[in-house]
């Protein structure tokens, strides 16, 4: 029987080991999901909402407990882990309050007496999720999916089994029927069989391009809907009219959020020539001043990377960039000792010939570019395979319009860092994936958009005797 290990990346200590599900256990869970769906889809919104509100309460009441599980398993700072539990609660409340309105029948004009669209649930949906926001990624799928009347099956990343089991526990404690949300402790090699099972109706994956392509190709073969939320290398553009002090402050937070391991972290800083020197100096100073260390400590800004292997990947990317001509302005070498620590790092002069120029860098390493005008800024911003978020700093109305229209991304935030928010749709273009999570768009991804047309016939005339 294969096992999964929970390892603390701050210390290398093995915290727990779990057996993967046997085939028989997996079969029981799939059968339970199917059976639960048949009843759950008929439950009124008010009943679903009552459970979802209780899930929010469980998250909030024990946020420190959930936070410690996240931090010990994947290394994010405890304060950010607690904030993550709170954010999950806000998504649960948002969908408890709005799902019914988002999925209300929509009347449309046609030649029928009455036509409308009714949004009906699909069934069990498989969610393949990453470790980096181990609660948030799951809740932003589960809250709308369950409110729509679907049931959820979670295949979480293999390095966060304790988070995966904790989330199942939260839904159980909130009173959801057992089959509404189930964690499947299985490795990625067993995802294909689950997707091919007729009882599973759709899939969502948040993770790398390779994983997304694999899930989408299997689902393509068996004609099942997918949503993919993949990687990003978001631009952060600073123009001369911006408030430079705020831009620098936010740039540091945007690059180092989640120890630098966020899909929507700003990764490429594209700065106009007129303010470049001042930006670079202040940015490097602030990056260097961040406190790297124990993620449980209240004053830590940046904890460890998720694993020694992810740290080694980062080391190789930085080395490759330097070999191709980049200059290291701060950081640039892993920290000695136990734990997968890597310091905040700034690279300048990364050329398009360097592999790192177009790759996602999943750690606290910023690349900084000098550009001469808005056209050049947009050209560099778009010169990557990804299109997730973008942050642009300008107080010039024309420049704002240019960025909104021409930056190839699923989101453009002006004078702010990109952040997901239950009230706003979230997703990407290009190789960052397709489909949307959150807001009304998110809950409408996993529904049958059923067209109903009703023709009222004139009552038959009474027969003449
Ligand atoms: P990953 O290696 O792709 O893993 C993500 C999930 O996919 C895990 O559950 C993993 O399971 C599974 N998986 C991997 N290969 C698979 C395959 N061939 N078939 C089926 N499932 C497979 O990604 P990660 O390293 O955990 O996460 C980091 C990536 O996620 C980054 O690229 C980041 O940008 C992206 N991300 C995107 C978003 C977004 O919203 N767009 C949000 C967060 C993260 P195992 O762990 O068992 O291998």
Residue 462, pLDDT above cutoff 90: no
In the reported structure, the alpha carbon of residue 330 is separated from the centroid of ligand 1 by a whole-number distance in angstroms of 29
* Residue 92: inside a domain: yes
Name the closest-CA residue to atom 48, ligand 1: 188
* Mean pLDDT score, 295-321: 97
395 and 281 belong to one structural domain: yes
* Mean pLDDT score, 108-122: 98
Residue 246, pLDDT above cutoff 70: yes
In the reported structure, the alpha carbon of residue 434 is separated from the centroid of ligand 1 by a whole-number distance in angstroms of 15
Give yes or no for residue 12 CB within 6 A of ligand 1. Answer: no
Give yes or no for residue 234 CB within 6 A of ligand 1. Answer: no
Q: Which of 230, 362, 366, 388 is nearest to 306 (CA)?
A: 362
In the reported structure, the alpha carbon of residue 107 is separated from the centroid of ligand 1 by a whole-number distance in angstroms of 39
Residue 53, judged by CB atoms within 10 A of its CB (0-12, 13-18, 19+), counts as middle
In the reported structure, the alpha carbon of residue 272 is separated from the centroid of ligand 1 by a whole-number distance in angstroms of 34
Give yes or no for residue 7 CB within 6 A of ligand 1. Answer: no
* Mean pLDDT score, 163-168: 98
* Mean pLDDT score, 326-346: 96
* Mean pLDDT score, 391-402: 98
* Beta strand residue intervals within 66-144, DSSP E: 106-108, 114-121, 124-128
* Mean pLDDT score, 156-182: 98
Can you state the angle between helices 374-382 and 397-406, rounded to 10 degrees?
20
In the reported structure, the alpha carbon of residue 251 is separated from the centroid of ligand 1 by a whole-number distance in angstroms of 25
Residue 199, pLDDT above cutoff 80: yes
In the reported structure, the alpha carbon of residue 209 is separated from the centroid of ligand 1 by a whole-number distance in angstroms of 8
* Angle made by CA atoms 57, 61, 67, in degrees to the nearest 5: 115
191 and 243 belong to one structural domain: no
Give yes or no for residue 186 CB within 6 A of ligand 1. Answer: no
The C-alpha atoms of residue 180 and residue 198 are separated, in whole angstroms, by 17
pLDDT at 465: 62
| pLDDT tens readout for residues 407-453 | 999 999 999 999 999 999 999 999 999 999 999 999 999 999 999 99
265 and 288 belong to one structural domain: yes
91 and 124 belong to one structural domain: yes
Q: Which of 204, 64, 195 is nearest to 138 (CA)?
A: 204
Give yes or no for residue 129 CB within 6 A of ligand 1. Answer: yes
Give yes or no for residue 158 CB within 6 A of ligand 1. Answer: yes
Mutate to test the pocket of ligand 1, among 207, 212, 388, 426 (most ligand atoms within 8 A of CB): 207
Q: Count structural domains, the chain.
A: 2
For the chain, state the CA radius of gyration: 24
220 and 248 belong to one structural domain: no
* Mean pLDDT score, 131-138: 98
Give yes or no for residue 214 CB within 6 A of ligand 1. Answer: yes
Q: Tokens 């490795």 belong to which residue? A: 187
Kindly state the helix (H) or strand (E) to which residue 169 belongs, with its residue range. helix 161-173
pLDDT at 154: 98
Give yes or no for residue 311 CB within 6 A of ligand 1. Answer: no
56 and 172 belong to one structural domain: yes
Looking up residue 372, the CATH number of its domain turns out to be: 3.40.309.10
| Average pLDDT taken over every residue of the chain | 97
pLDDT at 219: 98
* Residue 356: inside a domain: yes
327 and 359 belong to one structural domain: yes
* Residue 419: inside a domain: no
88 a catalytic residue: no
* Beta strand residue intervals within 406-446, DSSP E: 413-414, 429-430, 433-434
* Residue 426: inside a domain: no
Residue 68 dihedral angles phi and psi, to the nearest 5° = -65, -35
* Mean pLDDT score, 323-327: 96
Mutate to test the pocket of ligand 1, among 183, 211, 311 (most ligand atoms within 8 A of CB): 211
The C-alpha atoms of residue 106 and residue 89 are separated, in whole angstroms, by 29
Contact 144, 443 (CB under 8 A): yes
How many Cβ atoms from other residues are within 10 Å of residue 245's Cβ?
A: 10
Closest approach atom of ligand 1 to CA 426: 40
* Residue 461: inside a domain: no
* Mean pLDDT score, 286-295: 98
203 and 245 belong to one structural domain: no
* Residue 458: inside a domain: no
In the reported structure, the alpha carbon of residue 118 is separated from the centroid of ligand 1 by a whole-number distance in angstroms of 33
In the reported structure, the alpha carbon of residue 90 is separated from the centroid of ligand 1 by a whole-number distance in angstroms of 24
* Residue 422: inside a domain: no
263 a catalytic residue: yes
Give yes or no for residue 271 CB within 6 A of ligand 1. Answer: no
Name the closest-CA residue to atom 10, ligand 1: 157
pLDDT at 447: 98
Looking up residue 10, the CATH number of its domain turns out to be: 3.40.605.10
pTM of the model: 0.97
The C-alpha atoms of residue 123 and residue 35 are separated, in whole angstroms, by 10
Q: Which of 376, 318, 374, 375 is nearest to 348 (CA)?
A: 318
Domain membership of residue 255 as a residue range? 234-414
Closest approach atom of ligand 1 to CA 432: 41
Which one of the listed residues 84, 229, 280, 408 is annotated catalytic? 229
Which one of the listed residues 88, 163, 219, 263 is annotated catalytic? 263
Contact 304, 9 (CB under 8 A): yes
Contact 42, 195 (CB under 8 A): no
DSSP 8-state class, residue 259: G
Contact 358, 316 (CB under 8 A): no
Name the closest-CA residue to atom 37, ligand 1: 230
Give yes or no for residue 157 CB within 6 A of ligand 1. Answer: yes
pLDDT at 457: 87
77 and 178 belong to one structural domain: yes
275 and 224 belong to one structural domain: no
Give yes or no for residue 231 CB within 6 A of ligand 1. Answer: yes
Give yes or no for residue 188 CB within 6 A of ligand 1. Answer: yes
Residue 7, pLDDT above cutoff 90: yes
113 and 31 belong to one structural domain: yes
Residues of the chain above pLDDT 90, percent: 97
pLDDT band at 337 (very low <50, low <70, confident <90, very high): confident
| pLDDT tens readout for residues 354-375 | 989 999 999 999 999 999 999 9
307 and 320 belong to one structural domain: yes
* Residue 462: inside a domain: no
């Amino acid at each position: 029987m294969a096992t999964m290990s929970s390892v603390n990346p701050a210390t290398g200590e093995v915290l727990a080991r779990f057996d993967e599900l046997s085939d028989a256990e997996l079969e029981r869970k799939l059968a339970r999901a199917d059976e639960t769906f048949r009843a759950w889809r008929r439950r009124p919104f008010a009943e679903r909402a009552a459970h979802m509100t209780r899930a929010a309460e469980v998250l909030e009441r024990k946020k420190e407990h959930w936070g410690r599980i996240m931090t010990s398993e994947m290394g994010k700072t405890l304060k950010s882990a607690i904030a993550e539990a709170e954010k999950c609660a806000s998504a649960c409340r948002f969908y408890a309050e709005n799902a019914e309105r988002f999925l209300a029948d929509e009347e449309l004009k046609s030649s029928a007496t009455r036509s409308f669209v009714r949004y009906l649930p699909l069934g069990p949906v498989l969610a393949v999720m990453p470790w980096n926001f181990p609660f948030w990624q799951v809740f932003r799928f589960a809250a709308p999916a369950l409110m729509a009347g679907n049931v959820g099956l979670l295949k979480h990343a293999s390095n966060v089994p304790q988070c995966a089991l904790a989330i199942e526990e939260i839904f159980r404690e909130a009173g959801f029927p057992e089959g509404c949300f189930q964690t499947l402790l299985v490795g990625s090699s067993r995802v294909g069989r689950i997707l091919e099972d007729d009882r599973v109706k759709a899939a969502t994956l948040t993770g790398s391009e390779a994983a997304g392509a694999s899930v989408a190709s299997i689902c393509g073969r068996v004609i099942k809907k997918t949503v993919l939320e993949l990687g990003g290398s978001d631009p952060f553009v600073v123009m001369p009219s911006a408030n430079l002090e705020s831009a620098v402050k936010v740039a540091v937070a945007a690059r180092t959020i989640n120890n630098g391991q966020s899909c929507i972290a700003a990764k490429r800083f594209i700065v106009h020539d007129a303010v470049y020197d001042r930006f670079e100096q202040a940015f490097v100073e602030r990056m260097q001043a961040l406190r790297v260390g124990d993620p449980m400590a209240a004053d830590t800004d940046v904890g460890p990377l998720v694993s020694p292997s992810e740290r080694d990947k980062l080391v190789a990317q930085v080395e490759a960039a330097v070999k191709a001509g980049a200059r290291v302005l701060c950081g640039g070498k892993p920290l000695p000792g136990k734990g997968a620590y890597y310091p905040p790092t700034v690279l300048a002069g990364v050329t398009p010939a360097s592999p790192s120029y177009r790759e996602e860098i999943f750690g606290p390493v910023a690349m900084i570019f000098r550009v001469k005008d808005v056209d050049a800024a947009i050209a560099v911003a778009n010169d990557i395979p990804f299109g997730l978020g973008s942050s642009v700093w300008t107080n010039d109305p024309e420049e704002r319009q240019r960025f909104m229209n021409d930056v190839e991304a699923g989101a453009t935030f002006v004078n702010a860092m990109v952040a997901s928010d239950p009230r706003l749709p979230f997703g990407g273009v290009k190789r960052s994936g397709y489909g949307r999570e959150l807001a009304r768009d998110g809950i409408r991804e996993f529904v049958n958009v059923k067209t109903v047309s009703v023709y009222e016939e004139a009552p038959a005339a009474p027969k003449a005797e």
